[in-house]
Structure 1
Amino acid sequence: MPSEEARCRPSLVPYITAWSSERTQRPPVIVRGAGIGYADESPYDRDGDGVLWMRESVSPGRGRPEFGRVHLMRQRRAMRRLLCQVCGRAADRDGDGVLWLLGEHDAAELTTSHPPLCVPCAAQAARSCPYLRGGCTAVRARSRTPIGVHGMVYRPGFPFPVAETDGGVLYGDERIRWTRAAQLIVRLAEVTVVELHTGVPAARR
């Protein structure tokens, strides 16, 4: 009989899943200006909002998929370009907006770090994603706004800044300058609840 882990694995490796060949790089964090940075920092280490990001190699398909570990660059790319988190193609969009699956907390706040989906992949994500298996709400959103990042927050220390908490930090929060980001967080607006398997409001069925 297959193990619980084997039964929960999706047959398709999601686009945002990290592979064993893709390793997170952890160069020392230093004080830079009014926050943190890398000694060998390049323009690619920060996003357009000036937030410092973790480094991770890119080699999808090599090694084994590490289900449950999100590849930070593909997560951010899927969020920015509205790509399906499972297949990597364009997320489903209609007159009500782009399709998203929200866990219980995300649905209450209309914020999420999980990229959108296409309709065929939505049901698979609901079955296989541990975060969503406990229950999820399918919605379409006409707009979305990046509002912050999830990552490690540091505090001043000697000789290097000290890692303090791991969590979400909003843009505008002074701690954002002391955060090494791993995932982008967005807030959805103009939201319509839809049926998971069809992606349309129940009233239209």
Structure 2
Amino acid sequence: MTSTATSTDMTGTVEPRLRVPFVIAHAGESAPQSLSFVNKPFSGLRLVYDNPRRGDEVGRVLRARVLNNRRGEPQWKLLNTARQWRCMEKLLCQVCGRVATDPKTGRIPWITTATAFREIPGDADSGLTSAPPTCAACIPESLSMCPRLHVSSAVWTVARREPAAILADMYSPDLNGRPVHTGERNFFVGLDEPDLLRYALATQLVVRIEDMQPAPHLAGTP
């Protein structure tokens, strides 16, 4: 489920490089976003696709369209919306794409970072994250190879996760009612904020992880 980048040295030997994580977007996966605003009964103005398809909406959330073919160069700073969402919903490892839950304990290994984790005031055992879980087998490689994890990371196991919010591109109508991007990307919108969801195109799902327990042993440290 993962791909591996390779390089060739001057002797002609092919050497493996950093494995491309399952959730990373590829250059050939971008898709056009043909959007409009329409007036919906009871909810008012709402962002929609010009040609709606099954799967565009998840509850009250309009989700960004992407292809899912893993073609083209890895876009290391971007996540594929479809795969990120699937990892969150199915508890799949963001690196290998396989089930992340420990079959013996039922707990889910998770790496958190300063940029993808938000504490919940008054609840030290829970938090909000846009980073999917990482299975125990992939954690050591991730910590050693990923530059972002060298800056800030912590390893946990968690008991459960619940959808809580999205990261989104935000739109507003122009004078003719056409959608115009506001310039806000990765804007945090809670699933309990319908007035903001109406103007949001979701790119990532944010979940609340609960009963967080430190798991340094999974990182290979005492």
Q: Same fold (TM over 0.5)?
A: yes
The answer on 1:15 being equivalent to 2:22 is yes
Q: Is the 1:100–1:115 contact (alpha carbons within 8 Å) kept by the matching residues of 2?
A: yes
| Equivalence for 1:6 | none
The answer on 1:170 being equivalent to 2:190 is yes
| Equivalence for 1:97 | 107
Aligned match of 1:134 in 151, 154, 164?
Answer: 151
| Equivalence for 1:80 | 89
Change (3 A) 1:149 1:15: same
Return the alpha-carbon distance in structure 2 between the equivalents of residues 111 and 196 of structure 1.
23
The answer on 1:38 being equivalent to 2:49 is yes
Return the alpha-carbon distance in structure 2 between the equivalents of residues 81 and 111 of structure 1.
17
Return the alpha-carbon distance in structure 1 between the equivalents of residues 179 and 111 of structure 2.
36
Return the alpha-carbon distance in structure 2 between the equivalents of residues 10 and 135 of structure 1.
22
| Equivalence for 1:117 | 134
Change (3 A) 1:179 1:10: farther
Kindly state the Cα deviation for residue 129 of structure 1 after the two structures are TM-superposed: 3.6
Change (3 A) 1:131 1:11: closer
Most deviating of 141-150 and 20-29: 20-29
Change (3 A) 1:10 1:132: farther
| Equivalence for 1:5 | none
Q: Which amino acid aligns with 1:136?
A: S
Greater strand proportion: 2
Return the alpha-carbon distance in structure 1 between the equivalents of residues 197 and 164 of structure 2.
11
Return the alpha-carbon distance in structure 1 between the equivalents of residues 202 and 30 of structure 2.
16
Deviations 1:128-153 (A, max 9, x none): 44442212111111011100110112
Q: Is the 1:30–1:37 contact (alpha carbons within 8 Å) kept by the matching residues of 2?
A: yes
Deviations 1:41-98 (A, max 9, x none): 1232111x221111111212x3222222211000000000000000001104253720
Aligned match of 1:184 in 205, 209, 216?
Answer: 205
Kindly state the Cα deviation for residue 25 of structure 1 after the two structures are TM-superposed: 2.1
Between structure 1 and structure 2, the one with the greater Rg is 2
**3-state DSSP of counterpart to 2:93:** coil
Most deviating of 133-142 and 17-26: 17-26
Query: For structure 1, which runs of at least 5 residues remain unmatched after alignment?
Result: 3-8
Kindly state the Cα deviation for residue 16 of structure 1 after the two structures are TM-superposed: 0.5
Kindly state the Cα deviation for residue 163 of structure 1 after the two structures are TM-superposed: 2.0
Change (3 A) 1:131 1:170: farther
Q: Is the 1:119–1:199 contact (alpha carbons within 8 Å) kept by the matching residues of 2?
A: no
Matched residue count: 192
Kindly state the Cα deviation for residue 199 of structure 1 after the two structures are TM-superposed: 8.0
Q: What fraction of aligned residue pairs are identical, expressed as a percent?
A: 26
Q: Is the 2:22–2:83 contact (alpha carbons within 8 Å) kept by the matching residues of 1?
A: yes
Return the alpha-carbon distance in structure 1 between the equivalents of residues 118 and 38 of structure 2.
37
Greater helix proportion: 1
- Alpha-carbon RMSD across the aligned residues, in angstroms, is 2.4
Return the alpha-carbon distance in structure 2 between the equivalents of residues 113 and 180 of structure 1.
15
Query: For structure 2, which runs of at least 5 residues remain unmatched after alignment?
Result: 1-6, 8-15, 121-126
Return the alpha-carbon distance in structure 2 between the equivalents of residues 128 and 158 of structure 1.
49
Aligned match of 2:218 in 186, 197, 204?
Answer: 197
Kindly state the Cα deviation for residue 19 of structure 1 after the two structures are TM-superposed: 1.6
